[in-house]
Amino acid sequence: MTDREQIEKQLREAQAQAEADFAAADSPQTLYEAKTKYLGKKGAVKAILRGLGGLSAEERPLIGQIANEVADALEIVYDARLDVLKRSESEAKLAQDSIDVSFPGTWPVRGARHPLALMLEEIEEFFYSMGYDIAEGPEIEQEWYNFDALNIPADHPARDMQDTFWMKNGGVLRTHTSPVQIRYMQSHQPPLRMIAPGRVYRCDSDVTHSPMFTQVEGLVVGEDVSFRHLIGTLEALLKHVFEDSIEIRLRPSFFPFTEPSAEVDLRRAGGDWMEVLGCGMVNPAVFESAGYDSSKVTGFAFGLGIERFAMIKYGIRDIRLFYENDVRFLRQFR
Ligand code: DAH
């Protein structure tokens, strides 16, 4: 064997040995170490090339070319092996911190509708489906809208400091939603059907009275609106909100803005009569306040408190529960 053949054989053997070492490396780290062992400055290939001293000037480039081929081939094998090792390393990592789909999760806390929102929605749905408009008015109201226009005289007890939150400028926190009747009639012409839900305020507080509560006003005006229409409407409403089996009765009553006036009671089978709302035929004086000709139109009106409705429907004894937002109370309306 010539020197050249000898060196070429050494190079090929080193290449085969390096390829075997690369294949045996089990991590990028050991693979890199193997690469250095053959291709590094102090590596086996360099050591072989250092032994070229005995070769002729024609032979040296030939051996150099073979050495380059070996180095290039080893780089390719190295890169391929590095790829494989990196991939299995990341796969092992993934397998380790994989997600256990059988592990019990934490539930997001689900909210519930507020009972007053539920009740209001039920009432609004009922009237909306019958073609009523849903109107609103201001909670800070002028004395005239809250009282005078509704035929509530200056010496009426409702105007007393005891019952009404007066503002320094003479305005009031509206004590009922009835002033929306006037505002609505001022901006609409008959025939009309509307309800006006909203907050109202009174100086009053115990288990069944809150200084702020929520009413729904109703007003229907036309040429031949009668007391029968009022009774039929309220009966349908109450059977929709409560049960079909409830009994209803009307008691004569008095409100300055209606004439005649009545209070409506309901009773469940075996239960006691419970007062649920006030109503009546619109007093002609109210039509005049709103600018209507009271000889041409008639109408009925009613006013109800949705807290009272919700207390009866859901069996709630203390009105304050509606405003405290205790989740143990609210969750029950899911
Ligand atoms: N505004 C009355 C109140 O707050 C409720 C009421 C009664 C309204 C009779 C009406 C009605 O429209 O006709 O006590």
What does the pLDDT look like over 52-69, one tens digit per residue? 777 788 888 888 888 888
Q: What is the whole-number distance in angstroms between the Cα of residue 5 and the centre of ligand 1?
A: 117
Which pLDDT score, from 0 to 100, does residue 230 have? 98
Question: Is the CB of residue 196 below 6 angstroms from any atom belonging to ligand 1?
Answer: no
Give pLDDT, residue 162: 66
Say which CATH topology domain 115-333 has: BirA Bifunctional Protein; domain 2 (3.30.930)
Atom index in ligand 1 nearest the CA of residue 282 equals 13
Q: Where are the beta strands (DSSP E) in 42-183?
A: 133-134, 140-141, 172-173
How far is the C-alpha of 99 from the C-alpha of 201, rounded, in Å? 56
CA separation for the pair 22, 313 (Å, rounded):
80
Q: Cβ neighbours of residue 169 under 8 Å, at least 6 residues apart?
A: none
Express each pLDDT in 303-328 by its tens digit. Answer: 999 999 999 999 999 999 999 999 99
Which residue ranges make up each domain of the chain?
3-96, 115-333
Sort strands 140-141 and 133-134 into parallel, antiparallel or unpaired. Answer: unpaired
Residue 178 CB–ligand 1 contact under 6 Å: yes
pTM: 0.70
Which parts of the chain have pLDDT scores under 70? 158, 161-162
